C-alpha cells in the first residue's frame, strides 16, 4: 500500500492556524499537531482552529486534504476521543496516531488512513502487528518519547549519533513497515541549526528505505529534499546499469568489474523512482 506524499513532512502546531498555509507551502505535506506541540490547556482551542480554517460554510480555505495529516492524541485518552469528534467535521482523513502501541487501537480509526507513530517500548515491540492492520499506511518512529518510555535521558550519544537502542528501534520500525508493504517515516532531527547533521541523517534514511523524514522547522525541508534527490551522476549511473541489464538479458552479469543481480538492479530502480524518472 503506497502512501508517499514526498520526502519532507513538516509538523505545525494545530493551535497556530496562521502557520498552516505557510507550512503546507514549504513542505510536501503538513502535519497539524494536536499532541505534543500543544499544551494541554490549549488542545480544545487547537481543535477549534482546525475547524475555523475550514470557513463558516465548511468550504473555506482548508488545506489540501491529500497533503494534510493530523497528529492525534494517544488512543484511550479523553483527548483522543475529542480529536476524533473534531475530525468528523473536516475533510481530513490522514491521521498520525501518537504513541501507537497495539493493533487493537487501529480498529478505532476505521475510515482513516493511519500513520502509526511507534515511540514507546510497546509500540516498537508491536510494530509488525501494527503494520499488518489494513488501515495503517505508514509507520513512523520517535526517538525522544521512546527513550522517555524506557526511563532514559537522551536518544543520542555525545557525538550526535543515535544510541544503540534508538538505532534498534529505527530499524525495527522500518523492517516492520516494509515487510507489510507500508511506508516508513524517519524521526525528526531536533537540533534545528545543525543542517549538516540533518542532511547526513536524511541521506542515510533515504538509502535505508525510509520514504520520507519528518521536520520540525521549515528550514529543515530543503536539506531533506536535497538528501532524497539523487544526483545527476547517480541517475546517470543507474540508467546506464539498467540499460546494460536490458542488453544482457540474463539474470546475473558483469558490469564495470562488478557482479550484478536482481537486488542491485532494484537499487538502481529505486534511485530513478526517487528522481521521478519512473
Over residues 83-112, the pLDDT tens digits come to: 999 999 999 999 999 999 999 999 999 999
Q: Which residues of the chain have pLDDT under 50?
A: 1, 58
Single out the residue of 43, 136, 39, 50 nearest to residue 96, CA to CA.
Answer: 136
Average pLDDT, the chain: 91
Residue-level pLDDT at 51: 94
Task: For the chain, give the DSSP string.
Answer: ------SEEEEEETT-GGGHHHHHHHSSEEEEESSTTS-GGGHHHHHHHHHHTT-TTS-SS---GGGEEEEEPPTTSHHHHHHHHHHTTSS--EEEETT---HHHHGGGTTSEEEEEE-SHHHHHTHHHHHTSTTEEEEEE-HHHHHHHHT-S-SB-TTSPBPHHHHHHHHHHHHHHHHTT-EEEEPP---TT-HHHHHHHHHHHHHHT-SEEEESSGGGHHHHHHHHSPPHHHHHHHHHHHHHHHHH-SSSEEETTEEE-HHHHHHHHHHHHHTT--
Residue 278 has what pLDDT? 63
Q: For residue 131, how many other CB atoms are within 10 A of its CB?
A: 25
pLDDT for 112 equals 97
Domains and CATH numbers, the chain: 8-228 (3.20.20.60), 232-274 (no CATH)
119-155 residue pLDDT tens? 999 999 999 999 999 999 999 999 999 999 999 999 9
Amino acid at each position: 500500500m503506497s502512501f508517499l506524499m514526498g520526502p519532507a513532512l513538516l509538523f505545525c502546531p494545530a493551535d497556530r492556524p496562521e502557520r498552516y498555509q505557510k507550512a503546507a507551502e514549504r513542505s510536501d505535506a503538513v502535519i497539524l499537531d494536536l499532541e505534543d506541540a500543544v499544551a494541554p490547556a490549549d488542545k480544545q482551542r487547537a481543535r477549534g482552529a482546525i475547524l475555523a480554517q475550514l470557513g463558516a460554510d465548511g468550504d473555506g480555505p482548508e488545506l489540501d486534504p491529500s497533503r494534510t495529516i493530523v497528529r492525534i492524541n494517544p488512543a484511550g485518552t479523553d483527548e483522543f476521543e475529542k480529536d476524533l469528534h473534531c475530525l468528523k467535521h473536516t475533510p481530513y482523513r490522514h491521521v498520525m496516531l501518537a504513541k501507537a502501541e497495539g493493533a487493537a487501537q487501529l480498529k478505532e480509526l476505521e475510515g482513516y488512513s493511519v500513520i502509526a507513530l511507534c515511540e514507546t517500548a510497546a509500540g516498537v515491540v508491536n510494530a509488525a502487528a501494527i503494520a499488518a492492520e489494513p488501515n495503517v499506511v505508514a509507520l513512523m518512529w520517535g526517538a525522544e518519547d521512546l527513550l522517555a518510555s524506557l526511563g532514559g535521558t537522551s536518544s543520542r550519544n555525545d557525538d550526535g549519533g543515535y544510541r544503540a537502542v534508538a538505532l534498534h528501534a529505527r530499524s525495527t520500525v522500518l523492517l516492520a513497515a516494509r515487510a507489510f508493504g507500508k511506508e516508513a517515516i524517519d524521526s525528526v532531527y531536533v537540533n534545528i541549526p545543525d543542517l549538516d547533521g540533518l542532511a547526513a541523517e536524511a541521506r542515510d534514511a533515504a538509502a535505508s528505505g525510509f520514504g520520507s523524514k519528518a521536520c520540525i522547522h521549515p528550514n529543515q525541508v530543503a536539506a531533506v529534499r536535497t538528501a532524497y534527490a539523487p544526483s545527476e551522476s547517480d541517475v546517470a549511473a543507474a540508467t546506464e546499469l539498467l540499460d546494460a541489464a536490458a542488453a544482457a538479458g540474463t539474470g546475473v552479469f558483469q558490469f564495470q568489474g562488478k557482479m550484478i543481480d536482481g537486488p542491485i538492479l532494484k537499487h538502481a530502480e529505486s534511485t530513478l523512482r526517487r528522481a521521478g524518472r519512473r
